[in-house]
Structure 1
Amino acid sequence: MSLETVVEDIRDEARARAEDIREEGEERAAEIVSEAEEEAERVVQEREQQVERQIEQEREQTLSAAKLEAKQQRLEARRDVLADVREGTEAAIADLEGDRREELTRALLDAAAVEFEDDESVAVRGRADDEELLTEILDDYEGWSFAGERECLGGVVVESEESRVRVNNTFDSVLEAVWEDNLKELSDRLFDDE
């Protein structure tokens, strides 16, 4: 065998070995690319899921905030309506006249009188516009007198030095008690749609 043949055999062997190495390199490169593509796909899916979760969370927060704001506006509107009803009621009470006003004032005085049966002098305060009415009614009560005005819708505040008792039977105090006792029912009637 000649040297040339040996060299050619070595070259052929080196070429074959180089071809094997190249094929192995291409296979490994293809595996690396495939793994990288799979990893990239997994990362993309994870990111998409994170973004979807974040979008859903933000949507729920926005919806929740909108519902809360709507509820607050609804409650504020209800408060405004109830305040208007209260103002209208107060105005109607303040505008009572004649026999009806006298009847209610007498009833409030009679209710207060129970507390002052043994007292010799009793002071009665009331609305300035009711002074004449109160003075006339108080003629029926011995030792009772009009003692000045009281800022109120009507009715009386009765007090005595002897017993140190004060009874607030103003229309305002009666309205407050009735209002508090019936506020839920009133609200239900006004806002029966919910």
Structure 2
Amino acid sequence: MGLEVVVDEIKAKGDREAAAIKAAAEAQAKEIVNEANLRANEIRLAAEKDADTQADRIMIREVASANLVVKRDFLNAQKELLDKVYTSAAEEIANLPADVHAKAVRELLKESAKQIKAGVVFTNARDEKAAKEAISGLKTLSGFTFGGITDIAGGVVVQSTDGQLTLDFSYQTFMGEVWETSLKDASEILFG
């Protein structure tokens, strides 16, 4: 019987040690699982935060892109309207009565004579007669000749006889100068 007691004691001690090892292992496993859960939660929160940040960035990019498209379309519409205004103004000038164009040609030739003493005058077909009449009728234009028709909406282009100087007193040139200096004002009037 003495051996059985020793065996039972060893067995009991082994069971206690096994239970202690098992309890320690379970506690360690529980701690590992808790740490893993905490880490998984941290990863999940970080991933959610990253996803939110990415979504915000995408939203900001998309909004900025949409704003650029709207702004570009708005600017294109403004430009189109300004181009229509310019074209309309050019048409209005072109459709003025013949006597207005004749007077303009005469005055522009007088101005040319102040800058060039002798030269060749070019006009469009409509203003040819007015230019020839001014050249033959005004003493200050005695050094000028009619050079022919050129592609302008109105006004005159005068070239010095030596070809060194050309005065562009065409309607397009005047309109371009006025347009450039008045574009900001026109934009403010049209678009506020």
- TM (norm. structure 1) is 0.91
Alpha-carbon offset, residue 163 of structure 1: 6.8
Alpha-carbon offset, residue 144 of structure 1: 2.3
Q: 2:125 aligns with which of 89, 105, 128?
A: 128
Structure 2 counterpart of 1:21: 21
Alpha-carbon offset, residue 25 of structure 1: 1.0
Structure 2 counterpart of 1:52: 52
Gaps of 5+ in 1: none
- AA matched with 1:145: T
What does the per-residue CA deviation read over 1:58-78, in whole Å, with 9 as the maximum and x for residues that have no partner?
111111111111111111111
- Aligned-partner Cα distance in 2 for 1:34–1:165: 93
- Aligned-partner Cα distance in 2 for 1:151–1:163: 19
Alpha-carbon offset, residue 172 of structure 1: 1.1
1:32 paired to 2:32:
yes
Give the SS at the match of 1:128: coil
- Aligned-partner Cα distance in 1 for 2:53–2:115: 70
- Aligned-partner Cα distance in 1 for 2:25–2:161: 113
Structure 2 counterpart of 1:186: 186
- AA matched with 1:89: A
Alpha-carbon offset, residue 44 of structure 1: 0.5
- Aligned-partner Cα distance in 1 for 2:163–2:45: 85
What does the per-residue CA deviation read over 1:63-103, in whole Å, with 9 as the maximum and x for residues that have no partner?
11111111111111111111111111111111122332222
Structure 2 counterpart of 1:175: 175
Give the SS at the match of 1:129: coil
What does the per-residue CA deviation read over 1:154-192, in whole Å, with 9 as the maximum and x for residues that have no partner?
111112224732211111111111111111111111111
Matching of residues 25-174 of structure 1 within 5 Å: 25-117=25-117, 119=118, 122-139=119-136, 140=138, 141-162=141-162, 164-174=164-174
On the 8 A contact 2:106/2:130 being kept in 1, the answer is: no
- Aligned-partner Cα distance in 1 for 2:144–2:97: 23
Task: Point out the more displaced range, 156-165 or 169-178.
Answer: 156-165
- Aligned-partner Cα distance in 2 for 1:54–1:190: 41
- Aligned-partner Cα distance in 1 for 2:126–2:168: 18
- TM (norm. structure 2) is 0.92
CA RMSD of aligned residues (A): 1.5
- Aligned-partner Cα distance in 2 for 1:59–1:166: 58
- Structure 1 vs Structure 2: percent identity of aligned residues? 29
